Chains A and B, each alone.
Chain A
Amino acid sequence: MKISREEFLSLSGMEGETLNAWIEDEWLIPSGSTVELSFSEIDIARARLIRELRVDFGVNDEAVGVILNLVDQLYGMRRTLRELRQEVWTTTEQG
């Protein structure tokens, strides 16, 4: 699903300036050109996580970047772990 900048702002309840800053910091990486950004569901979910970190958890902006980096590495490992499990099964079945 492709979501325009306007739709993203209304869906996430964010201010345009905040969004620009988050994109600048690469907290959010929308696709599309700089003229016309395109967002997807993962961006909305990630924006919500960032908002919860800042508003609900009182995490400061410096720490948000650190947390996002660690979270993404954690998910990278989880994805690979799942792929490995698949790979091990395949190998065992063929074995």
Chain B
Amino acid sequence: MGTVLNDPYEILGVAPTASAEDIQKAYRKLAKKLHPDLNPGNAEAEEKFKEIASAYGLVGDAEKRKRFDSGEIDATGAERPPQHYYKDYAFSEQDHPYADNSGFADFMDSEDAFGELLRRSARAQANRRGHDLEFRLPIEFIESIAGANKRLTLPDGSTLDVAIPPGLTEGQVLRLRGKGAPGSGKGDFGDALIEVEIKPDRLFTRQGDDIYLELPVTLTEAVLGARIKVPTPTGAVTMAVPKGTNTGTTLRLRGKGAPRHAGGYGDQLVKLKVVLPKEPDPELEAFVSNWEGGKTYNPREEVTP
């Protein structure tokens, strides 16, 4: 829409020298004709109303008009955020206290085919299915892998039990049949749609069906090999660290990843990181200073300029 570039005076149909009263008069005249709530179904009127409303928002305000006339601000500043009109609610399918069918009640009572059609439609409306309700549910990473039973508290204070299936992915939507808004008459309940949001985990990340974990090991475990306990989302397992393991070595725990859609499980990939003791150790220092091998190998061969 090129509306922002247009001259607000031109839009309102007044001269740039017009008095404040004339501008208000011109706006009121146009607004009465074009107000969206008084012209439902007329998209063109709504577009035009937006134009005149932003034009009036600019030059209908003495302060803003002064700044606009001096070139300090342009018409862009007058753009209004989109807002909901009365018509958006009054014409929605939801029942509301202002609904009024008296304007055609006489047609409804007539004995002809049209009256019959109206009555049938009213009966269909009377047994309408309820609306779907949408909710967001944050869960822990571990719950997304292993599954969980969660309880959601709704805005009205009631609760909803949600079974999280194992292996759920971010943004997945769960549909709980019949847990939405009540229908009217004999209409069914709508569904509850629950969008699941997985909180980031301190330890684990997920790529596809595989789970990644970085795991620190001691120097001794790395050099000599060891059997160590490794956390997985479904509980700790024992893993063999081979002799001579290095930082960056990645080990695969088969079947310890997320459940696959097609059945089976992904893997957990454990990336090891050799970590020295927190406090300097005199014995280790003494050993390393006497260790000839440590002075001859070059781990930076490939990064040396």
Q: Which residues of A contact B90 (CB under 8 A)?
A: 42, 46, 71-72, 75
Q: Which residues of B contact A46 (CB under 8 A)?
A: 86, 89-90, 98
- Interface membership of chain B positions 142-176, coded 1 if the CB is closer than 8 angstroms to chain A and 0 otherwise: 00000000000001100000000000000000000
Contact of A79 among B86, B97, B99 (CB under 8 A): B99
In the assembled complex, A41 has its CB within 8 A of some CB on chain B: yes
- Interface membership of chain A positions 83-94, coded 1 if the CB is closer than 8 angstroms to chain B and 0 otherwise: 110111010000
Does the CB pair A75–B27 fall under 8 Å? no
In the assembled complex, A21 has its CB within 8 A of some CB on chain B: no
Does the CB pair B121–A83 fall under 8 Å? yes
A46-B98, A57-B31 are contacts. A71–B89 as well, Cβ < 8 Å? Answer: no
What is the size category of the interface that chain B forms with chain A?
A: 35 or more
Query: B40, B41, B103: which has the most chain A beta carbons within 10 Å?
Result: B103
In the assembled complex, A14 has its CB within 8 A of some CB on chain B: no
Does the CB pair A80–B104 fall under 8 Å? yes
State A40–B155 Cα separation when bound (angstroms).
14
CB-contacts of B1-36 with A (<8 A): 27-28, 31-32, 35
What number of A residues sit within 8 Å (CB to CB) of B?
Answer: 35
CB-contacts of A42-76 with B (<8 A): 42, 45-46, 48-49, 52, 56-58, 67-69, 71-76
Does the CB pair A86–B98 fall under 8 Å? no
How many Å from the CB of B17 to the closest CB on chain A? 23
Which of B's residues lie within 8 Å of A, judged by CB?
27-28, 31-32, 35, 37-38, 40-41, 84-91, 93, 96-104, 117-118, 120-122, 124-125, 155-156
Which of A's residues lie within 8 Å of B, judged by CB?
1-2, 29, 31, 40-42, 45-46, 48-49, 52, 56-58, 67-69, 71-80, 82-84, 86-88, 90
